[in-house]
Amino acid sequence: MRNRIVFTSAVVMAAAVVALLGGLLRRSSSAASASLSGAQAAEDFKSGFALNASTASLVADLQSRLRANPDDEHSYALLGLAYEQRARETGDPSWYPKAEGVLRRALELDPKDSLAVGGLGSLALSRHRFLDALVLGDQARALNPYSAQPWGVIGDAQVELGRYRQAFASFDRMNKLRPSLSSYARVSYGRELIGHTPGAIRAMKLAVDAATGAAEPTAWTHVQLGKLYFNHGRYRSAELEYRLALQAFPGYAYGLDALAQVLGATGRRRQAIAAERQAVNAIPLPQYVATLGDLYRVTGRPAPARRQYELIGAIERLLNANGVKTDLEIALFQVDHGISLHHAVVRARLARAERPSIDGDDVLAWALARNGRCAEALPHSQAALRLGTQDALKFFHRGMIERCLGHAQTARTWFRRALELNPHFSLLWSPVAKRLAA
């Protein structure tokens, strides 16, 4: 079901603040109203981020501190990170400009505040401005060479820029400096990219253990582990992980969305729609809206499906207004749903130039293929598979390109590979693969 809009491809970037600072703000509920010293709060953020305490309460606390002491650069840095977390929690990108404003204010007060520089790097990742993120991550590393966290920002940016050898070295460096939820998750993603699934699962299990019972990080890591299982057709194991996530964090939108995928894959589509509706109501992310539309479509309800698809344009405009680049994801949505196919090629080509990753190549290949330009598409599909990534959707795209080129037997081989890996990899395209593989 990876035809969905996915606004970041790196697994750790699904939780932007977690990706920056390793996860978990250790703050007990009894201390929620207590003021935090700037130095101690910075150390807490460096240890990680959790939702045990309300982020909204943390925002209010930091704002109160800054009213009392408007020159407290640490509190500005922390407030910027809290704003980024609010964006992740609510799906509202209007938190991004607020985060940028207070982080830059922190740097006006202390140009060597590595926490603020790293926060701007994380923000650039969330906005899909990967060259900017790489520069900022490297600046944060120079300011604090003994910290593991800047290597995460650097590695995430390198992945999206297609610099995989450098990215894997960055993740390895991060893990050696400080093994943590964040570093284990990155190691897992790196192993997934090169097709080493057992190793990816082992690393993500370490990330689950590193969450140490904190609600949101525990839920997030269970979701990521479940996705590894789902992408390899292990639906029962995936569902277990998603339900564990929802047990740890009831109403968790990322868990509800993931659960909807496995419910849809296993034929429980009414339950899938209910779960996806809950996810959309909690956080109206475009990928959730698109999946809900696809669920309506495959259950014979074209009118509500169309209404969901029409929302994507409004969400895109909101994201763009708040500095988020969406060309790659919107191009994929358009190609999958047959919308403005010629324009989708233009967008995909622009996105691939800025984001020369295996996903950039795959989306461009698919856009070209859907426009009948399959000879142009083939080299990009080959590049998309160059790491050995085990991705059923990429296999399917390759099959469609080979079929378009008249290579019938080769095409069937790719369709079969996709289905053997994950028989229900996509609500829209798995049935097509099954028909064409015969």
pLDDT in tens, 20-61: 443 323 332 222 222 233 333 333 343 343 434 578 888 999
Identify residue 426 by its one-letter amino acid code: S
For residues 63 and 35, what is the distance between their CA atoms, to the nearest angstrom?
Answer: 11
Q: What is the DSSP letter of 24?
A: B
Q: Which residues contact 211 (CB under 8 A, 6 or more apart)?
A: 23, 24, 181, 217, 218, 220, 221
Distances (CA, A) of 323 to 33, 128, 212, 356: 33, 9, 34, 20
pLDDT, position 230: 98
Copy the structure tokens of residue 52.
């045990």
pLDDT, position 125: 97
pLDDT, position 61: 93
| Mean pLDDT of the residues in the chain | 88
pLDDT band at 213 (very low <50, low <70, confident <90, very high): confident
Mean per-residue pLDDT, 187-205: 97
In terms of Cβ atoms closer than 10 Å to its own Cβ (0-12, 13-18, 19+), residue 233 is middle
Listed residue (243, 200, 261, 247) closest to 225, CA to CA: 200
pLDDT, position 14: 39
pLDDT, position 298: 96
pLDDT tens by residue, 246-271: 999 899 999 999 999 999 999 999 99
Q: Is residue 212 left, alpha or beta, with left meaning phi > 0 and alpha meaning psi from -120 to 50?
A: left
Mean per-residue pLDDT, 366-374: 98
Mean per-residue pLDDT, 349-357: 96
For residues 207 and 401, what is the distance between their CA atoms, to the nearest angstrom?
Answer: 37
47 within 8 A of 24, measured Cβ to Cβ: yes
42 within 8 A of 17, measured Cβ to Cβ: no
Copy the structure tokens of residue 296.
């309506």
pLDDT band at 179 (very low <50, low <70, confident <90, very high): very high
Q: Which residues contact 382 (CB under 8 A, 6 or more apart)?
A: none
Bridge partners for 24 per DSSP: 48
Mean per-residue pLDDT, 283-292: 91
pLDDT band at 66 (very low <50, low <70, confident <90, very high): very high
In terms of Cβ atoms closer than 10 Å to its own Cβ (0-12, 13-18, 19+), residue 330 is buried
Domains of the chain and any CATH numbers:
9-174 (1.25.40.10), 334-437 (1.25.40.10)
- Is it the case that residue 2 has pLDDT exceeding 80? no
Using DSSP, state whether 315 is helix, strand or coil: helix
pLDDT, position 306: 96
pLDDT tens by residue, 118-169: 999 999 999 999 999 999 999 999 999 999 999 999 999 999 999 999 999 9
Q: Which residues of 375-392 are buried (b: 16+ CB within 10 A; e: fewer)?
A: eebbebbebbbebebbbb
Write out the E strands in 282-431.
Answer: none
Copy the structure tokens of residue 252.
């968790």
45 within 8 A of 81, measured Cβ to Cβ: yes
Q: Which residues contact 110 (CB under 8 A, 6 or more apart)?
A: 73, 116
- Which helix (H) or strand (E) element contains residue 415? helix 408-421
pLDDT, position 54: 74
Do you know the residue count of the chain? 438
**pTM listed for this prediction:** 0.88
Copy the structure tokens of residue 218.
């525990």
Copy the structure tokens of residue 72.
């407290």
